[in-house]
Structure formats: C-alpha cells, structure tokens
C-alpha cells in the first residue's frame, strides 16, 4: 500500500501545496561546479540568473557555495560562507518574495542563512552525516529540510559504490533518520535519493525505474539529475548538450511520483510539470 504523503510544506508560515510538483532552480556560487554554465559569481550574474528563473516560473531558488561534483576539493567554511551570503543578500534584496534554499551540509552556515540572510529551506547533501549538529539546527529552526542520500563524500563517492539493493538500502538509511528527526519534532522533511552521489549509472537508472517505491517513506520526494553524467555519458554527449535528456528523465520522474525537480533549466522543467499534469488529469 502506498503511504500517505503530506500535501503541504510550511515555508515561513505559508503552506506550499505539493499536489502540483514544484521546480527548484540551482544557483552555484562556485568556480568548479560540473556544469560550467551554472557557475555565477558576480552580482550581475547572480541577478541575471535569479531574474530568469523567476520569469520562467521557479518555485524555489537553491543557492550553494560548495561544489559537490565527484572529486570536488574541500573548501573551508569561511569561503563557503562568503560565497553564499553574498548571493543570498543579492537575491533577497532584489526579489524579496523569492523562496531561497541554502545548499549546505554545514550546520552553522545553514543557521546563519535562515536567521540572517533570507533562506527558508535547508538542502543538505549529506543527510546530517557530515555535520552531526545539523539535525539539532533543523529542530531549532523548524524549517523544511531536504535530506539527501550520499554514499561517501564528494571527493571519493564515485570510487566503487556498492549496494545490495540500491532502493532498499537507501530506504533503510532514510527510515533511520526520518524516525530520529520526527522524534525531535521536525515536521517538514523532504527526501532526495541522491542521483549521482555515490551511485554508478546502473544504480541511478534502477532508482529512477523504481522511484515510486520511495513513496513508502510517506514524505515529499525531490529528484535532481539535471545535466548529470548519467545522461551525458550514456548518450555520448557533454553536459552542455544534456538538456533534452534532462527533460526526458524529469518527465519519467514526475510520472513516477516526484514532487520537486531540482534543475539548472527552469523553463523546460516547468513545461514538463505542466504537460505531465495534463496527462494525469486527462484520466480523471
């Protein structure tokens, strides 16, 4: 039996209805993210990117200052902080109604982003593993928390990842942490299986094929495979050429129960949501 999934998440006192899937746009304030077109650092670049996303219908803007591509180098907290704080200040100032997500695994940066710089959601690629204080921060702040699964760390995660059953193993991992968070009173949890994070291509496609199984967790589901190697390596192209492949996988994910798409290309994702909703509504 499919578990009941919450229809709403509470974002700063506003209920966001997830019965219509949402689109999260990516702003990478980094010099080394895998998709070069997503990198921005100047005020002009940040404003241009955020403005286009909002014009294209984005629901959330995810700002990150730490590259999590395979083999990425570690950077100190102060460097990550300076990158994301500047970007959040700019977006909050120019677009005060924008819903900002802070993409970080560091609890102190998450707390500052929420309390001081206008963020409303925490997106943690480590699911609380990299910083054991993160769950306590989420408990204190009571903001939506995106908990992603990653096997290993960005620098080494693609070195021979192994699973007995990728979906079952990840669901077990989520289950342990969901119970802990809910026992702490955390209400708005979103799960992300972590496509490309400590998974080989066959793991990624198996997860996508069985994406509906994650509904057993009874929580909103975010997916992110925008322009990732599972697309461009499979097709023998580059990340720059992977928009069509991204749209295909986004469509499959929406048909299989995804609630949030995390993407570089907002316009195309919004179009995918609209078309899939038309398909679903035509059968009612």
Cβ neighbors of 7 (< 8 A, separation 6 or more) are 17, 18, 19
Catalytic annotation present for 228: yes
| Matching residue, tokens 């295909």 | 248
pTM: 0.92
Report yes or no: 255 and 261 within 8 Å, Cβ to Cβ.
no
Report whether 101 contacts 123 (CB < 8 A).
Answer: yes
Contact, 92 vs 118, CB < 8 A? yes
Residue whose token pair is 């119970």: 179
Annotated active-site residue 262? The verdict is yes
8-state DSSP, 41: -
pLDDT for 198? 87
Q: Above 60 in pLDDT, residue 37? A: no
Q: What is the mean pLDDT of residues 69-76?
A: 70
CA-wise closest residue to 266 among 106, 54, 6: 54
Find the range with the poorest average confidence among 91-105, 116-130, 156-170, 255-269: 156-170
- pLDDT (average), residues 124-133: 95
- As a whole number of angstroms, the distance between CA 65 and CA 106 comes to 11
- Least reliable range by pLDDT among 52-66, 159-173, 184-198: 159-173
Question: Do residues 270 and 54 lie in contact, with contact meaning Cβ atoms separated by under 8 Å?
Answer: no
- Alpha-carbon distance of 261 to 274, in angstroms, equals 13
* Predicted local distance difference test score (pLDDT) of residue 253: 98
pLDDT of residue 116: 95
167 has pLDDT over 60:
yes
Confidence class for position 71, pLDDT limits 50, 70, 90: low
Q: Which domains does the chain possess?
A: 8-282 (3.20.20.20)
- Among the residue ranges 116-120, 152-156, 224-228, the one predicted with the least confidence is 152-156
Q: Are 108 and 132 in contact (CB under 8 A)?
A: no
Residue 11 has pLDDT above 90, yes or no: yes
- Residues facing 191 on adjacent strands: 147, 221
Query: Of 34, 105, 31, which Cα lies nearest the Cα of 71?
Result: 34
Residue 282, pLDDT score = 85
Beta bridge partners of 64: 28, 103
pLDDT exceeds cutoff 70 at 6: yes
244 Cβ contact partners less than 8 Å away, ≥ 6 residues apart: none
How much is the pLDDT for 1?
38
**pLDDT computed for residue 63 by the predictor:** 96
| SS3 track for 86-117 | HHHHHHHHHCCCCCEEEECCCHHHHHHHHHHC
pLDDT of residue 102: 97
Rounded to the nearest integer, the mean pLDDT of the chain is 91
Task: Give the pLDDT band of residue 42 (cuts 50, 70, 90).
Answer: confident
Q: Which is catalytic among the residues 69, 81, 199, 228?
A: 228
- Residue 243 — pLDDT band, cuts 50, 70, 90? very high
Angle, alpha carbons 110-137-158 (nearest 5°): 60
Tell me what pLDDT residue 5 has: 80
Q: Which of 262, 267, 280, 284 is catalytic?
A: 262
200 pLDDT above the threshold of 50: yes
Structure tokens at 85: 């704080």
Helix (H, G, I), strand (E, B) or coil at 208: helix
Give, as one character, the DSSP assignment of residue 164.
S
* CA end-to-end span of the chain: 21
pLDDT surpasses 70 at 208: yes
């Amino acid at each position: 039996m499919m578990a009941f999934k919450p229809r709403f998440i509470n974002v700063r006192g506003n209920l966001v209805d997830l019965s219509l899937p949402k689109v999260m746009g990516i702003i990478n304030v980094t010099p080394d993210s895998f998709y070069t077109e997503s990198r921005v650092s100047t005020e002009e670049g940040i404003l241009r990117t955020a403005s286009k996303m909002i014009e294209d219908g984005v629901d959330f803007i995810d700002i990150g200052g730490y590259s999590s591509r395979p083999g990425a180098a570690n950077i100190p907290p102060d460097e990550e902080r300076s990158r994301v704080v500047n970007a959040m200040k700019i977006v909050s100032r120019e677009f005060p109604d924008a819903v900002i997500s802070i993409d970080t695994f560091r609890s102190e940066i998450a707390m500052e982003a929420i309390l001081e710089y206008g963020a409303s959601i925490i997106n943690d690629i480590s699911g609380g593993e990299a910083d054991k204080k993160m769950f306590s921060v989420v408990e204190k702040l009571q903001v939506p928390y995106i908990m992603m699964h990653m096997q290993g760390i960005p620098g080494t995660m693609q070195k021979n990842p192994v699973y007995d059953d990728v979906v079952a193993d990840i669901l077990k991992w989520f289950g342990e942490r969901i119970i802990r968070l809910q026992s702490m009173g955390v209400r708005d949890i979103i799960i992300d299986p972590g496509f490309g994070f400590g998974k080989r291509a066959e793991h990624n496609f198996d997860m996508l094929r069985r994406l509906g199984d994650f509904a057993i967790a009874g929580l909103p589901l975010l997916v992110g495979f925008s322009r990732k190697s599972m697309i461009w390596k499979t097709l023998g192209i580059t990340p720059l050429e992977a928009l069509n492949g991204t749209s295909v996988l986004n469509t499959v994910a929406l048909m299989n129960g995804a609630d949030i798409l995390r993407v570089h290309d907002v316009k195309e994702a919004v179009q995918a949501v609209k078309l899939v909703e038309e398909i679903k509504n035509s059968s009612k």
